[in-house]
Amino acid sequence: MKWTHAVAFALLAVGLAGCSKPKQVQPDTTAQAPVDSGAQTSGLGNETGPATGATAGAMSAAQQQALAALQSRNVVFFEFDSSEIRADYLSVVAAHAAYLTKFPTARVRLEGHTDERGSREYNIGLGERRAQTVRKALMLQGVTEAQITTVSYGEERPAVEGSDESAYAQNRRVELVQVQ
Amino acid sequence: MTFQRALARPKKKGSARALAWFFVLAGSLATSAHAQLRLDITQGVRDAVPIAVVPFGGQAEGGPNDVAAVIAGDLQLSGRFKPLERRDLVSRPTRGEQVRFEDWRLLKSDFLVIGHVVPEASGLAVEFELFNVQTGQRLLTNRLVTSERGLRATAHRIADLIFERLTGIPGAFSTRIAYVAVDGRPPKQRYRLMVADADGYGPRIVTESSEPIMSPAWSPDGQSLAYVSFEGKASAIYVQRLATGDRKRVSARSGINGAPAWSPDGRKLALTLSRDGNLDLYVLDLATQGLTRLTSDSAIDTEPEWSRDGASVYFTSDRAGNAQVYRVGAGGGQEAQRLTFTNGYNARPRLSPDGESLALVTLDRGAFRIATYDLKTRNLQVLTDGRQDEAPSFAPNGAILIYATRAGAKGTLAMVSADGRFQQRLSSDTGDVREPVWSPSPPAQR
């Protein structure tokens, strides 16, 4: 299938750009086939560019270890129509803040998500609000603005399928993706 | 009664073509679509008017260009008519003098459509007649010149004429629908922006990506689509010409670029941006790239929709604590005015073609449903009874709306008449189908 080619290009590109990099904490690497490369675009707005974490240089063993420890704790969940960080997830935010302040070259990408209820663009706004809440919490704990990027996917990228409360609860989230 | 149209398309050929697909991802509407969308009517309609559409003379029955089948399908899709099953047709007249009205009275058909296709110097001509079965009166007759390739379009045009003659409302069958189709399971999903005829025939891929695509919007001339794509790992707004596939990225500012809506003159887009970490409305001049800010509020302001005269913009905001619909001047620097007060959630307003009401998503007794809001009387009327109905879009004749709903775990499309009396559920045999938007009428009919 055609996507094999796309993925092959993607893997090749990643391999060339980051041969000395440690494994990235990105649950959806294969979903990042470079679809943009085939687009005939002529963007007139400000370029934002994705956070690629393409900074060169090897990570210290200490940092690699700290990063690995964060891997199992990189999602903050939310109540319906709320962007308050629940008390049981404050420690997740604190762990990422500690890592980011200890390693000032590290970068985090905050991906805001909602469940599928309600209109889609409104949910983009809600996902952004959640990402911004986490961003502010990180900055209150000493993380610098330059270390953080945010993106909202609204309900467009659910973590799990399903139209019940259990699925909704798993989809209302901010993923903290350490990009370096 | 089930009326099915299998929308067979040629299969794609070989990996060379597949590879080419990847490189012309955003290319022109390709002739072979691999997402096979089939729309089945799965829910009958009460009070629909029985009508007999006899297979047209001069052509084989059952092919994709079967004129009578296309007409019958359109009439059924409107919710107002119930075409007779073909096997129940007692005779097959193709010209007025062959009709025996007592046959059709026995079948309890109120109306009868007959016709034939004949060769013409420049291609083909389709002649048809519409009769009132009770009185035997001929209500309509016409002759349309076309070609083999244009037969379906001609059949839709005939359905438009019949619909208008019988209801007083112009038909909306010669139109198209854009929608987003999503395949695969999270987190690895594939997103395609599709365009098909209003009856679901001939789905074509406009663009596809492994990152979300959302919020398609037709330009007023029906030539282009604006949409949001996350293909660059952040949201950006694109405008793509359908005929050529040429596209431009018109907004890729830091943060969110969302909810594009064309101004009535097609020169501007209202959109939502999050330049300060929160969503506000702006108007982007497509020629100059100039930005005018419409709202500056700490709330979510999104889902803009222009008023008919282009002087104001309707939108969704949660500035009062929950999502409600507001209106603000399109020139900037004006206070927004709240419109909806019924129910705790009203979002994504879409203006009716006559400019007198908004279709929106409302939270009705714990379920998200489609409603219309009358701008004069301020009356909110709930039209649908789903649990998660969203994204309403008016047909250009204002008589019917298409929207997204759920059938089991799957996203699918449905139609409801603007008075809520008729509902049709459509199902696809692909993955999720969502965000349907009805095209404007073709230029010839405006």
| Residue A143 tokens, joined | 């993380």
B179, B256, B348, B369: best mutation site toward chain A, by most A Cβ within 10 Å?
B256
Q: Which of residues 169-208 of B touch A (CB under 8 A)?
A: 185-189, 191, 207-208
Return all residues near B200 (Cβ < 8 A) that are at least 6 apart.
B5, B7, B37, B38, B39, B177, B426, B428
pLDDT band at A40 (very low <50, low <70, confident <90, very high): very low
Smallest CA–CA distance from B252 into chain A, residue: A45
Same domain, B130 and B247: no
Say yes or no: B184 and B160 in one domain. no
Give the pLDDT score at A1: 35
Q: Does B155 share its domain with B228?
A: no
Contact A159 B186 (CB under 8 A): yes
Q: Among the three residues B115, B138, B167, which one is the final residue of a domain in this structure? A: B167
Beta carbon pairs, A and B, within 8 Å: 188
Burial B372-389 (b: 16+ CB within 10 A, else e): bbebeeeebebbbebebb
Structure token pair of residue A132: 């911004």
**Model confidence at A24: pLDDT above 70:** no
User: Is B236 in the same domain as B376?
Assistant: yes
Q: Identify from B25, B237, B246 which residue to disrupt to test chain A contact, counting A C-beta atoms within 10 A and taking the largest count.
A: B25
In the predicted structure, residue B25 carries a pLDDT above the cut 50 = no
A82-91, A134-143, A147-156, B10-19: the lowest-pLDDT one: B10-19
Strands (E), B201-251: 204-209, 213-218, 224-229, 236-241, 247-251
Q: Is the pLDDT of residue B263 over 60?
A: yes
A35–B231 C-beta distance less than 8 A: yes
Mean pLDDT within B380-408: 94
Radius of gyration of chain A (CA): 17
> Which residues of chain B have a CB within 8 Å of the CB of A11?
none
Q: Are B405 and B389 in contact (CB under 8 A)?
A: yes
Is B34 contained in some domain? no
DSSP character string of B266-296:
SSEEEEEE-TTSS-EEEEEETTT--EEE---
Cβ contacts of B359 on chain A, cutoff 8 Å: none
- The residues near B350 (Cβ < 8 Å, ≥ 6 apart) are B305, B358, B359, B360, B392, B393, B394
**Confidence check: pLDDT of A30 > 50:** no
> B380: phi > 0 → left, psi -120 to 50 → alpha, else beta; which?
beta
Nearest to B409 among A35, A151, A161 (CB): A161
Does residue B73 belong to any structural domain of this protein?
Answer: yes
pLDDT number for residue B186: 81
The mean per-residue pLDDT over the stretch B315-324 comes to 96
Q: Tell me, what's the pLDDT at B259? A: 98
Beta carbons within 8 Å of B408's beta carbon, 6+ residues apart = none
Within a domain: B268: yes
**Chain B residue with minimal CA distance to A118?**
B368
Domain boundary among B142, B167, B192: B167
Q: What are phi and psi of B119, to 5 degrees?
A: -65, 145
- Render pLDDT for A82-131 as a digit per residue (tens, 0 to 9): 999 999 999 999 999 999 999 999 999 999 999 999 999 999 999 999 99
Of A1, A50, A161, the CB nearest to B233: A50
Q: Is B233 on the interface with A (CB under 8 A)?
A: yes
pLDDT at A9 over 50: no
B47 vs B199, more confident: B199
Q: In terms of domains, do B75 and B212 share one?
A: no
Mean pLDDT of chain B: 89
Asked if the Cβ–Cβ distance from B233 to A51 is below 8 Å, we say yes
Q: Do residues B108 and B255 both lie within one domain?
A: no
How far from each other are the two terminal CA atoms of chain B, in whole angstroms? Answer: 34
User: For B186-239, how does the pLDDT look when each residue is reduced to its tens digit (9 = 90+)?
Assistant: 878 999 999 999 988 889 999 999 999 999 999 999 999 999 999 999 999 999
Do residues B274 and A67 make contact, with C-beta atoms less than 8 angstroms apart? no
In a domain, B8, yes or no: no
Q: Which residues contact B314 (CB under 8 A, 6 or more apart)?
A: B304, B305, B306, B307, B325, B326, B327, B339, B349, B351, B358
Q: Which residue from A38, A43, A135 is facing B24, i.e. has the nearest CB?
A: A38
Q: Average of pLDDT values for A138-159?
A: 96
Q: Is the pLDDT of residue A134 over 90?
A: yes
Provide mean pLDDT across the span A135-147: 97
Domains annotated on chain A, with CATH: 58-180 (3.30.1330.60)
Indicate which CATH number applies to the domain containing B276: 2.120.10.30
- Is residue B3 predicted with pLDDT exceeding 50? no
Model-level pTM greater than 0.95?
no
pLDDT in tens, B94-134: 999 999 999 999 999 999 999 999 999 889 999 999 999 99
3-class DSSP string for B133-165 = CCCCCEEEEEEEEECCCCHHHHHHHHHHHHHHH
Q: Are strands A75-77 and A173-178 parallel, antiparallel or unpaired?
A: antiparallel
Closest CA to B179 of B24, B33, B391: B391
Considering only CA atoms, which of B229, B266, B267 is closest in space to residue B251? Answer: B229
Among A163-172, B36-45, B368-377, name the one with the lowest average pLDDT. Answer: B36-45
Domain boundary among B145, B167, B189: B167
Mean pLDDT calculated for residue range B287-316: 96
Query: Which two structure tokens, joined as six digits, stand for B259?
Result: 């909810």
Q: Give the closest residue to B26 by CA, choosing from A94, A136, A42, A97.
A: A42
The answer to whether residues B142 and B255 belong to one domain is: no
Q: Do A6 and A33 form a contact (C-beta atoms < 8 A)?
A: yes
Residue A47 phi/psi, 5° resolution? -70, 130
ipTM metric: 0.87
B113 and B211 in a common domain:
no
Distance CA B200, CA B36 (A): 10
**Domain-embedded: residue B418:** yes
Question: B192, B249, B369: which to substitute to probe chain A, counting the most A Cβ within 10 Å?
Answer: B249
Q: How far is CA A119 from CA B54, B179, B363, B435, in A?
A: 43, 15, 11, 10
Q: Do A157 and B255 touch (CB under 8 A)?
A: no
Is position B238 within any domain?
yes
Task: Mean pLDDT check: name the lowest of A14-28, B48-62, B421-435.
Answer: A14-28
Q: How far is B413 from chain A (nearest CA, A)?
A: 15
Q: Is the pLDDT of residue B288 over 60?
A: yes
Indicate left, alpha or beta for A120 from its phi (over 0: left) and psi (-120 to 50: alpha).
Answer: alpha
**pLDDT score at B351:** 98
Examine the domain organization and report whether B411 and B359 are in the same domain: yes
CA angle in degrees (0–180, nearest 5) for B140-B145-B151: 90
How far is it, in rounded angstroms, from Cα B221 to Cα B446?
10
Of the pLDDT bands very low, low, confident and very high (cuts 50, 70, 90), residue B298 is very high
Least confident window among A30-39, B132-141, B188-197, B293-302: A30-39
Query: B139 with B186, same domain?
Result: no
Output DSSP code: residue B442: P
Q: Are residues B126 and B239 in the same domain?
A: no
**pLDDT > 90 in chain B, percent:** 76
The number of distinct structural domains making up chain B is 2
Contacts of A32 in chain B (CB under 8 A): 210-211, 233
Q: Is A30 helix (H, G, I), strand (E, B) or coil?
A: helix
- Taking an 8 Å cut-off on Cβ atoms, the answer to whether B187 and A31 are in contact is yes
The answer to whether the CB atoms of B231 and A36 lie below 8 A apart is yes
Contact B235, A124 (CB under 8 A): yes
Question: Is some CB atom of chain A closer than 8 A to the CB atom of B152?
Answer: no
How much is the pLDDT for A162? 87
Residues of chain A with Cβ-Cβ distance to B250 below 8 Å are 44-45
CA dihedral B180, B186, B190, B194 (to 10 degrees): -10
For residue B117, being part of any structural domain is answered with yes
Give the CATH number, domain containing residue B52.
3.40.50.10070
B396 found inside a domain: yes
State mean pLDDT over B311-339. Answer: 96
The residue-averaged pLDDT of B5-19 equals: 34
Same domain, B271 and B373: yes
What is the span of the domain harbouring residue B392? 176-445
Type of residue at B10: P
Given a cut of 60, whether residue B322 has pLDDT beyond it is yes
The mean pLDDT value of chain A amounts to 76
Give B407: exposed, middle or buried? Use CB within 10 Å, 0-12, 13-18, 19+.
Answer: middle
Q: Which residue, chain included where needed, has tokens 């003379």?
A: B57
Helix and strand numbers (H, E) in chain A are 5, 4
pLDDT at A167 over 80: yes
